A and B are shown apart, each in its own frame.
Chain A
């Protein structure tokens, strides 16, 4: 085989073309989001129609749920986050990504990991730890992926052309430092801890995959996107630093509030509750900064659809972070723990907040990576409304179902006396899942048409980003 063919094979799979790693990560994220959200929809449907599928272990609700959580967390959100960072960090540093080849290699490793997760989790090959279900081999691939992403981003920042680090970079740097460590600590793949210690570490990880990865990278993306969309300078860099250090300090110890009523040490619960309440400080700081940046620009939400996604995400962030400290206090937790309220809260954070900001980022970055305008604004609008209304329906039905359940548990009534009264909410939740998945399918179709239809010649207003180095 001649060297030309080898080069093209290398170029095909480990391309060094600028922006290819980011683009490939985005597309993979979108692909896995369809599978993850689809599994969520099917699992939600099985709540209202439990005999819909019988005798197929791969499609039974617990297996679907494992795959749903891992597919949207590791597949959709994490891959999308990496894609966003691969675009945003070079842009903020006014340089190229350190190594597109390494980026594409990571992308392949991550996709292989997701295929492995699909094959194992649906068959119930799980470690039995919530959010850490993946088996040993897949865990190792995740860590390799995270470390190579971290290396790539760190080297890019080392080679930067601007001296000052924008706040988004702080968030990305911090996340890529602590999340691999949190992941390694949290997996417990090669250790066997006694029950309650296992639970303490488990919830340290279970909460920090959210707090030290989805939140910190997501907020970094908000810091990048909102000033870009509105073309307004960030309101205050001092406030942004306060928010960053607040999150870094108060987020990590909150995990034990998930097991507030189990017999784990009281001092650990106290630390968790106190830092959960203190989280209001960074959250309100961050949101003040965003809303003050938006001052006088709110009208743009009507026309600028990606901005609308970002602002919706900020609004949901406000709701989820007010709800969080509230339900982490002992007396609220006493009532609503173990109920679907908590499921609603989890979706508010991961779907309402971080999936929306990732969608916004994808809508922002993709034209700049490929130099193509979005195929259809109408499809973006339909995506927004399906996802927004679907999510509101899901949130409302889950929260209400949670309150019904809470009353049942608190008064000590046996489950079978009140479980029938939850059926309307399960049904609404199934409908909401259908709306969200439909929106995501339109999103994927729009992306496909944007990328793979022949380029319309003249009137492209955006250009692929080219940096002369």
Chain B
């Protein structure tokens, strides 16, 4: 009998140790202060709809079963990363568990309100191939409030720098610090730029052109044209952004992910060269004659050819 009493005490103790470590300790130790980037729905002005009520509609309709509300380091195109202080007003939390649809962390302002409303009523009319259920049964007021809530999502998470690479290329993350520590190329030097020119000619010029004007011989065949890198817009690109573009390519275009082709050092040399391309006054390409031409290739003549099906009878 004493043995079972010991066992019972064991169960109770184990359980309370676990409660202490995973429930009480986080509640005591983890108290993020409001970062100012999350929305306090109580103070949002009631311009079109009531965002606080819209949030209740969001909860009621179970949107969080398919849409998440936190961006991760690898999520491209969903806006800035979330921080712990962004969520202090989010009760009940709507972090979500699965993404059948896109992440909604920074959805506000991405589409016009009319678009959002039409999308709620008839998702496949606005986004062909979507499997979102139609929420046409919502009342006018519910719909307006829900759209208002969606439009507030992430609207305080403003972007400070216009062009930034993903966080794992920046020294704010361990990956970015590792990248910076391994970088042994002075991307501002002429020597590095000269070294990069060779790599550029071999790997990039066929599409981007010899001077980076987007006039490579392949450019004419591409649906998404390569950019004109002489535009002064590219002067704002930080090194890490060039590096990110080279490494991961451009989604939706034929630009490949060069991280599997070039070494990290080669990519930094390439960055050094690319930084020399933007000019104060861009060189415009508006004529087919300005396309780089490949010298005609002369195929070797086959001397003992007896059968040429494409040519028919001689």
Roughly how many angstroms separate A46 CA and B132 CA in the complex, as a whole number?
9
Residues of A within 8 A of B (CB): 46-48, 50-51, 54-57, 60-63, 65-66, 124-130, 165, 170, 173-174, 177-178, 181, 185, 188, 192-202, 204, 245, 248-249, 252-253, 255-256, 258-259, 261-265, 268, 271-272, 334, 337-340, 342-343, 405, 409-417, 419-420, 426
Q: Known A66-B62, A173-B11, A202-B93; judge A261-B70 contact (CB<8 A).
A: yes
Contact with A along B173-200 (1 / 0, CB 8 A): 0000000000000000000000000000
Chain A neighbourhood of B133, CB < 8 A: 46, 50, 60-62
CB pair B92–A127 under 8 Å, yes or no, is: yes
Tell me how far the C-beta of B148 lies from the nearest C-beta in chain A, rounded to whole angstroms.
18
* Most-contacted residue by chain A among B68, B100, B137 (CB, 10 A): B100
Chain B neighbourhood of A129, CB < 8 A: 92-93
A sample of 20 inter-chain contacts (CB < 8 A) reads: A50-B123, A50-B124, A51-B124, A61-B65, A62-B133, A126-B59, A188-B92, A195-B91, A197-B31, A198-B92, A199-B87, A245-B14, A263-B86, A265-B30, A268-B26, A268-B30, A338-B68, A340-B98, A414-B102, A420-B129
5 additional A-B residue pairs with CB within 8 Å, beyond A62-B66, A130-B97, A265-B29: A264-B84, A265-B30, A411-B251, A412-B76, A420-B129
Chain B neighbourhood of A65, CB < 8 A: 62, 65
CB pair A253–B11 under 8 Å, yes or no, is: no
Roughly how many angstroms separate A57 CA and B75 CA in the complex, as a whole number?
32
CB pair B131–A128 under 8 Å, yes or no, is: no
> What's the dominant secondary structure at chain B's contact region?
loop
Q: Known A124-B60, A124-B62, A271-B22; judge A261-B73 contact (CB<8 A).
A: yes
B294 at the interface (CB under 8 A from A): no
Query: Among B61, B64, B88, B91, which residue has its beta carbon within 8 angstroms of that of A130?
Result: B64
B290 at the interface (CB under 8 A from A): no
Roughly how many angstroms separate A251 CA and B200 CA in the complex, as a whole number?
54
Roughly how many angstroms separate A242 CA and B131 CA in the complex, as a whole number?
47
Chain A neighbourhood of B74, CB < 8 A: 334, 409-410, 412
Query: Among A60, A128, A334, A343, which residue has its beta carbon within 8 angstroms of that of B92?
Result: A128
Roughly how many angstroms separate A342 CA and B96 CA in the complex, as a whole number?
13
Roughly how many angstroms separate A221 CA and B22 CA in the complex, as a whole number?
28
B170 at the interface (CB under 8 A from A): no
Chain A neighbourhood of B128, CB < 8 A: 416
B77 at the interface (CB under 8 A from A): yes
Chain B neighbourhood of A181, CB < 8 A: 15, 19
Instruction: With CB as the reference atom, state the residue of chain B lying closest to A196.
Output: B87
Tell me how far the C-beta of A133 lies from the nearest C-beta in chain B, rounded to whole angstroms.
9
Chain B neighbourhood of A262, CB < 8 A: 70, 82, 95
Tell me how far the C-beta of B47 lies from the nearest C-beta in chain A, rounded to whole angstroms.
24
Instruction: With CB as the reference atom, state the residue of chain B lying closest to A125.
Output: B60
B203 at the interface (CB under 8 A from A): no
* Most-contacted residue by chain B among A55, A185, A195, A199 (CB, 10 A): A195
Instruction: With CB as the reference atom, state the residue of chain A lying closest to B68.
Output: A338
Chain B neighbourhood of A194, CB < 8 A: 31-32, 87-91
CB pair A198–B15 under 8 Å, yes or no, is: no
Roughly how many angstroms separate A73 CA and B18 CA in the complex, as a whole number?
24
CB pair B64–A196 under 8 Å, yes or no, is: no
Q: Known A342-B98, A411-B251; judge A192-B59 contact (CB<8 A).
A: no
B299 at the interface (CB under 8 A from A): no
CB pair A128–B59 under 8 Å, yes or no, is: yes
B136 at the interface (CB under 8 A from A): yes
CB-contacts of B236-271 with A (<8 A): 251-252
Residues of B within 8 A of A (CB): 4, 7-8, 10-12, 14-15, 18-19, 21-23, 26-27, 29-32, 38, 59-66, 68, 70, 72-77, 82-84, 86-102, 123-124, 127-137, 251-252
Query: Among A66, A263, A342, A410, which residue has its beta carbon within 8 angstroms of that of B97?
Result: A342
Roughly how many angstroms separate A48 CA and B133 CA in the complex, as a whole number?
11
Chain A neighbourhood of B12, CB < 8 A: 177
CB pair B84–A405 under 8 Å, yes or no, is: no
Q: Known A252-B15, A262-B70; judge A416-B127 contact (CB<8 A).
A: yes
CB pair B130–A419 under 8 Å, yes or no, is: yes
Q: Known A185-B23, A253-B21, A415-B102; judge A47-B131 contact (CB<8 A).
A: yes
Instruction: With CB as the reference atom, state the residue of chain A lying closest to B97.
Output: A130
Tell me how far the C-beta of B17 lies from the nearest C-beta in chain A, rounded to whole angstroms.
9
Tell me how far the C-beta of B254 lies from the nearest C-beta in chain A, rounded to whole angstroms.
15
Roughly how many angstroms separate A57 CA and B88 CA in the complex, as a whole number?
31
CB pair B93–A199 under 8 Å, yes or no, is: yes
Instruction: With CB as the reference atom, state the residue of chain A lying closest to B83.
Output: A263
CB pair B130–A416 under 8 Å, yes or no, is: yes
Q: Known A165-B4, A194-B90, A196-B32; judge A128-B64 contact (CB<8 A).
A: yes
Q: Known A124-B61, A409-B74; judge A263-B82 contact (CB<8 A).
A: yes
Roughly how many angstroms separate A220 CA and B59 CA in the complex, as a whole number?
37
Tell me how far the C-beta of B102 lies from the nearest C-beta in chain A, rounded to whole angstroms.
5
CB pair B26–A265 under 8 Å, yes or no, is: yes
Chain A neighbourhood of B21, CB < 8 A: 253, 271
Chain A neighbourhood of B38, CB < 8 A: 195
Instruction: With CB as the reference atom, state the residue of chain B lying closest to A248.
Output: B14
Chain B neighbourhood of A50, CB < 8 A: 123-124, 130-134
Query: Among B82, B90, B131, which residue has its beta carbon within 8 angstroms of that of A426?
Result: B131
